[in-house]
């Protein structure tokens, strides 16, 4: 199973590299990564909405999505124990799904935010930023809680620890024998 996960990581990284190459070849609008503030030294301002076209939006969305999926696959790699996923899988898949949903909501909410003059605030932040601060930040807690709750089933069991103690003894004996 480890091998299969690594193969998926490889394919995802290739897709990500493809998006990067596409971005590299696409004409970069001026100021898209910030412009000097007209009055304040050391501060930057973001670009206007009209520098973005649909191709840029698509590449941006894919870039972000692929990054997140790659991160989640690395967690999956670490969650495999003795070739299988244990009870952690329920926590992992629900956390991963919600995380992808919140990323999508943040992305599309931001598109609308930058087009509108009057901006809705939630919890002290503009709406897309509220998605980022309250949802994207804390959704991975589901996976973290799963790590704690299923530690002995999915990460390391007491039998593993006993076996490890035996391996240590064998190695020490081998060293002393040498």
Residues 62-101, interacting with other proteins (CB under 8 A): 63-64, 67-68, 70-71, 74-75, 77-79, 81-83, 99
- Candidate residues 137, 153, 162, 173; the one interacting with other proteins per rule CB under 8 A: 137
Choose which of 55, 58, 87, 161 interacts with other proteins (CB under 8 A). 161
Burial degree of 86 (CB within 10 A; 0-12, 13-18, 19+): middle
Q: How many residues form the binding site for other proteins (CB under 8 A)?
A: 78
For other proteins, give the closer residue by CB, 67 or 94.
67
CB 1, CB 11: distance < 8 Å:
no
- Given a contact cutoff of 8 angstroms between Cβ atoms, the answer to whether 128 and 106 are in contact is yes
String of b and e for 168-177 (b: at least 16 CB within 10 Å)? eeeeeeeeee
With CB under 8 A as the contact rule, the residue among 43, 84, 120, 162 that binds other proteins is 43
Contact between 177 and other proteins per CB under 8 A: no
Which sign, positive or negative, has the C-alpha torsion 164, 169, 170, 174?
A: positive
Q: Where are the alpha helices (DSSP H) in 80-131?
A: 88-115, 127-130
Would you count residue 17 as binding other proteins (CB under 8 A)?
A: yes
Task: Please name the residue that has the structure tokens 């930058």.
Answer: 114
Among 20, 84, 120, 162, binds other proteins (CB under 8 A): 20
Tokens of 105: 């909501």
Instruction: State in angstroms the smallest separation of the CB of 126 from other proteins.
Output: 6
Identify which of residues 75 and 90 has a Cβ nearer to other proteins in the complex: 75
Confirm or reject binding of residue 2 to other proteins (CB under 8 A): yes
We find the least distance from the C-beta atom of residue 143 to other proteins, in angstroms, to be: 6
72: exposed, middle or buried (Cβ count in 10 Å: 0-12, 13-18, 19+)? buried
The reply to whether 32 sits near other proteins by the rule CB under 8 A is yes
């Amino acid at each position: 199973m480890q091998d299969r996960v690594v193969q998926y990581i490889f394919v995802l990284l290739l897709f990500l590299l493809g998006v990067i190459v596409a971005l590299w070849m696409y004409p970069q609008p001026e100021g898209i990564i910030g412009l000097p503030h007209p009055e304040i030294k050391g501060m930057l301002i973001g670009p206007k909405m009209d520098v973005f076209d649909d191709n840029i939006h698509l590449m941006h969305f894919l870039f972000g999505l692929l990054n997140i999926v790659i991160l989640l696959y690395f967690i999956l790699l670490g969650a495999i124990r003795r070739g299988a996923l244990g009870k952690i899988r329920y926590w992992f898949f629900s956390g991963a799904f919600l995380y992808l949903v919140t990323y999508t909501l943040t992305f599309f909410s931001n598109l609308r935010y930058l087009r509108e003059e009057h901006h809705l605030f939630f919890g002290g932040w503009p709406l897309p930023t509220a998605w980022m601060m309250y949802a994207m930040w804390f959704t991975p807690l589901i996976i973290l809680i799963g790590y704690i709750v299923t530690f002995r089933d999915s990460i390391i069991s007491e039998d593993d620890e006993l076996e490890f103690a035996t391996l240590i003894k064998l190695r020490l004996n081998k060293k002393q024998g040498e």
